[in-house]
Structure 1
Amino acid sequence: MPAYHSSLNEEPDVRQVGNLSILPIKTKIRGPAPLADPNAADIIDETLDLFRANSLFRNFEIKGPADRLLIILILFVSDCLAKLGTQRAAPSQLEASKTLNTLAVDNFPIPGDANFALNAHYAPPQSRVDGEYLRQYLTQVRQELAARLVERLYADGTGKPSKWWMAFQKRRFMNRSLGT
């Protein structure tokens, strides 16, 4: 059975930095990301919907630039769950939100950096300006993803993270980690 790919691979008129799509997102967080239609699913919704199914796969055939962004975001979700799982007691929703927001804005490697885990699959940005734009975009997307992940983790109202999500904290998509 093949892995699930992004439905946004064929989006027309999408800016690319390196070979990574800069897709619109629904957000209130400031940053360079284009704003998406509030009624349509964006890459963050797609990431959260596909995370658990795709994290079971060791191989992933990249079919377009949106898949490259999807890979980075799935690996970030994996790192988020691992970060929450290392805490001694299950964090409250507020603690989890703070922890994941800090993780989202921490310095992280982008494609082209020497310590980026997947450089073989990604083209580096063409210029320094593009590289800075990509870093700002990924920071904004990571912040929005962390916020929406916390909403899903604590959706049942018990004050504890969902065991159906936390079961994936040790799973590694493609046996990789972003190393954050």
Structure 2
Amino acid sequence: MPAYNSIFNNDPSPPRLIGNFPLLPIRTKTRGPAYALPPVSLPAHESPDPDDESYDILDEVLALFRANTFFRNFEIQGPADRLLVYGIWFVSDCLGKIKPKASFREAQKDVMNLALDTHFAIPGDPAWPLNQMYEAPRDRQDAEQLKLYMSQVRQELAVRLLARVYADDETTPSKWWLSFVKRKFMGKGL
């Protein structure tokens, strides 16, 4: 059985690419270069339906995270899959920062520190886990734009993940999310 790929690979309007990393629109309040999708009137721990215009790649990352972490192989079928892979690795790192007995405030501090950290690798850097599957940005300006976009994605993913992990109780994290801490998607991580 193959891993789950992104539905955004079939999008009729191709996304802007830096290297071969897509800059897809996201639903966010965080400042950055991403085109912002319309907000939704759902609780923070819920995602809109995939048919909705506000459904974005970050909703898909969180929806497919638990299923895809079981796979050691992943066939990239389009640019959106590259962002999906990065999102899954980042969610895995965030879950590793949440302690089993941490309250929402403690976890928020640790996860947001990870999301706001500006010293992270981008495609083309020696520390990037899969440089053979990702192209480096053409120039310094593209690299800066990609870093800003990835930072915006990291911050929005952290907020949405925390809302899901603490959806039932703000004093303890969901064991159903934390049970995936030791799993490594494709045997790699950021």
List per-residue Cα deviations over 1:1-26 (Å, max 9, x = no partner).
11100101122131001101100111
Work out the percentage of aligned pairs sharing the same amino acid: 54
**Cα distance in 2 between the residues matched to 1:109 and 1:79:** 14
| Misfit runs of 4+, over 6 Å | none
Cα gap change, 1:133 to 1:163, in 2 (>3 Å)? same
Partner Cα separation in structure 1 for residue 92 and residue 9 of structure 2: 22
Give the distance between the partners of 1:34 and 1:139, measured in 2 at CA. Answer: 14
The answer to whether 1:14 aligns with 2:15 is yes
- SS of the aligned residue for 2:22 comes to strand
Give the match's secondary structure for 1:126: coil
* Aligned-pair Cα RMSD in Å: 1.1
* Distance apart, 1:40 and its partner CA: 2.4
> Hey, what's the Cα distance between the residues in 1 that align with 2:85 and 2:185?
8
The residue aligned with 2:48 is none
Matches of 1:13 and 1:119 in 2, distance apart?
22
Structure 1 residue ranges without an equivalent (≥5): none
Mean alpha-carbon deviation: is it higher for 158-167 or for 134-143? 158-167
Residue 56 (structure 2) pairs with residue 56 (structure 1): no
Q: TM-score, normalised by structure 1?
A: 0.94
Residue identity opposite 1:47 in structure 2:
V
Q: Which of residues 113, 117, 123 in structure 2 aligns to 1:102?
A: 113
| Shift in CA distance, 171/122, structure 1 to aligned 2, threshold 3 Å | same
Paired with 1:5 and 1:37, the residues of 2 have a C-alpha distance of 24
Give the paired residue count. 175
Question: Which structure 2 residue ranges, 5 or more long, are not aligned?
Answer: 40-52
Tell me whether 1:159 sits opposite 2:160 in the alignment: no
1:111 maps to what in 2? 123
Does structure 1 retain, via aligned residues, the 8 Å contact 2:97–2:107? Answer: no
TM-score by length of 2: 0.89
1:164 maps to a residue whose letter is: W
Q: Residue 90 of structure 1 corresponds to which residue in structure 2?
A: 101
Query: Partner residue of 1:3?
Result: 3
Partner residue in 1 for 2:45: none
After TM superposition, give the deviation of residue 97 of structure 1 in Å.
1.2
